[in-house]
Amino acid sequence: MTSSASHSANGHGRVAAPRSSPPAEHFPLTRRDYSFIVGFWLIYALLTIANHAFDPGPPGRRPDGALTTWTIFAFSEAALWALLTPLIVSVAGRTRSERMSRAAHYFLLLLLGIVVALGVSVFGYELRGLLIDRPPGRDGGTRHGPPLWFGFLNALVIYLGVLAAGLARAYSLRLGARREQATQLQAQLAEARLQALRSQLDPHFLFNTLNAVSSLVERDPRGVRRMITRLSELLRYSMEGAREPEITLRRELDLLDRYLDIMQVRFPGLNVLRLLDDGALDVMVPSMILQPLVENAIRHGVEKMTEPGRIEIEAVLDGNTLVLRVSDNGPGESAEPDSESGGVGLSNTRARLEQLYGAAAQFSLSRNAEELTVAEVRLPATRDRAELRVEGSESTNDER
């Protein structure tokens, strides 16, 4: 019953949803705009007064009336334009309706210009007649300055200038609003991508840690309880701090200690050496940036050894760059680009560095002269949170 009623609604098997038009953009004038308008027309009035004061014309044709009369006329005309300018600018700034064609829109603007120019010209013509006495013309009448049609054309030109300024203002503000909106959308996209990377990292870390716990359930129950306690602390942070793309290095090392406690229960002889620059502890770093590096060192280095392994964690400042290094004395498999198990952790690390810092951050994995596998991260040393890169490209690194 319901299905057939829906199909008969439009005869084509679907009901067309009404198209919603985008909200009209309107940019109201600010106090700064009003100040500019008043200042502009004040200068216009002063220039008009100066023109009549310093260019009186030839004898016998000089404008009648004292300078005070021309001052009243100039300021009156400027005040009228100052009152009309906000209206013209506001009309120019309104978005054209979808139901109105471009030609009709411009015709209405021209019609408004004719009305404004006619009103201003009549006002000026009558005001000039009241304030300024002219000598009789050839026809015996009294001329009140330029004819009415000349004043109309002059006012129409001024209106077109004000309209052009209003259109330019609206275009500039609309373009700025579009760019700001695009930037906000791209920033939201970048943040969503970063959250997706974190969401990918958390299950990966949890899966590997639970595997480590399960391997000791029968052998070391007390150690398993300790591992579960540390794991619960890490999971609590994962849920509470997931929205923080960056934390201080001090806090990152504190979280890493909990992970290392778990690994040291599994590998009792694991030796962890820290080489930390005190000035680097308050530098902001991506959250959970060290854990994948240490995990990679354990799984592809320490885990392959029969004798106790060693992991070195180094954090030093190199000018305006923070250098993080995680080294292990394993057989070197963790430095192989095609190592199967390192895919999620290290590729995720690369992608997050790219998203947060772009080309300002670097990641490398190599074997040094001391036969240590070194994972090195270089990133800007700052104590402020980084802006998400809105133009960050997708990571194309498939290794590890």
pLDDT in tens, 318-344: 999 999 999 998 887 655 544 444 456
Question: Is 223 in the same domain as 364?
Answer: yes
Q: Per-residue pLDDT for 187 more than 60? A: yes
Residue 327 in domain: yes
Q: Give the residue, 264 or 375, on which the prediction is more confident.
A: 375
Question: Is 178 in the same domain as 220?
Answer: no
Domain count, the chain: 2
Q: What is the mean pLDDT of residues 174-185?
A: 77
Residue 27 · residue 97 · CB < 8 Å: no
Question: Is 131 in the same domain as 256?
Answer: no
Q: Which of 193, 201, 200 is nearest to 292 (CA)?
A: 201
Whole-number pLDDT of residue 19: 43
CA pair distance 355, 359, nearest whole angstrom: 10
Q: What is the mean pLDDT of residues 185-206?
A: 58
Q: What is the mean pLDDT of residues 144-152?
A: 75
Residue 294 in domain: yes
Model confidence at 228, in pLDDT bands (50, 70, 90)?
confident
CA pair distance 256, 283, nearest whole angstrom: 16
Q: Per-residue pLDDT for 242 more than 60? A: no
Whole-number pLDDT of residue 227: 76
Residue 11 in domain: no
Model confidence at 363, in pLDDT bands (50, 70, 90)?
very high
- Torsion sign over Cα 138, 141, 145, 149: negative
Q: Give the residue, 354 or 376, on which the prediction is more confident.
A: 376
Q: Per-residue pLDDT for 272 more than 60? A: yes
Q: Per-residue pLDDT for 102 more than 60? A: yes
Whole-number pLDDT of residue 16: 43
Whole-number pLDDT of residue 255: 84
Q: Exposure string (b/e) for 69-100, b if CB count within 10 Å is 16 or more?
A: bbbbbbbebbebbbebbbebbeebbeeeeeee
Residue 235 in domain: yes
Q: Considering 157, 182, 207, which residue would you say is the last residue of a domain?
A: 182
Q: Give the residue, 323 or 29, on which the prediction is more confident.
A: 323
Note down the domain range covering 303: 215-380
Model confidence at 135, in pLDDT bands (50, 70, 90)?
low
Question: Is 176 in the same domain as 221?
Answer: no
Q: What is the mean pLDDT of residues 209-232?
A: 74
Residue 246 · residue 357 · CB < 8 Å: no
Q: Per-residue pLDDT for 387 more than 60? A: no
Question: Is 151 in the same domain as 50?
Answer: yes
Q: Give the residue, 29 or 386, on which the prediction is more confident.
A: 29
CATH number at residue 366: 3.30.565.10
Whole-number pLDDT of residue 121: 85
Q: Which of 364, 360, 349 is nearest to 395 (CA)?
A: 349
Question: Is 269 in the same domain as 369?
Answer: yes
Ramachandran category for residue 140: left, alpha or beta (phi over 0 → left; psi -120 to 50 → alpha): left
Q: Alpha helices of 132-214 — where are they, by DSSP H?
A: 148-214
The phi, psi pair for 249, rounded to 5°, reads: -60, -35
Q: Give the residue, 314 or 391, on which the prediction is more confident.
A: 314
Question: Is 99 in the same domain as 221?
Answer: no
Q: What is the mean pLDDT of residues 2-21?
A: 42
Q: Exposure string (b/e) for 300-329, b if CB count within 10 Å is 16 or more?
A: bbbbebeeebbbbbbbeeeeeebbbbbbbb
Which residues, 6 or more positions from 371, have their beta carbon under 8 angstroms from its beta carbon?
A: 329, 332
Q: Considering 161, 182, 203, which residue would you say is the last residue of a domain?
A: 182
Whole-number pLDDT of residue 323: 95
Which residues, 6 or more positions from 259, have their beta carbon under 8 angstroms from its beta carbon?
A: 209, 230, 234, 291, 294, 295
CA pair distance 234, 210, nearest whole angstrom: 12
Residue 281 in domain: yes
pLDDT digit string (tens) for 274-323? 999 999 999 999 888 898 898 888 888 888 887 888 999 999 999 999 99
Identify the top-confidence range among 34-38, 107-111, 296-300: 34-38
Question: Is 282 in the same domain as 333?
Answer: yes
Residue 23 in domain: no
Of 45-49, 62-66, 86-90, 274-278, the poorest mean pLDDT is in 62-66
Residue 300 in domain: yes
Question: Is 166 in the same domain as 48?
Answer: yes
CA pair distance 275, 313, nearest whole angstrom: 6
Residue 161 in domain: yes
- pLDDT, averaged across the chain: 75
- Torsion sign over Cα 170, 176, 178, 180: negative
Question: Is 141 in the same domain as 270?
Answer: no
Question: Is 176 in the same domain as 290?
Answer: no
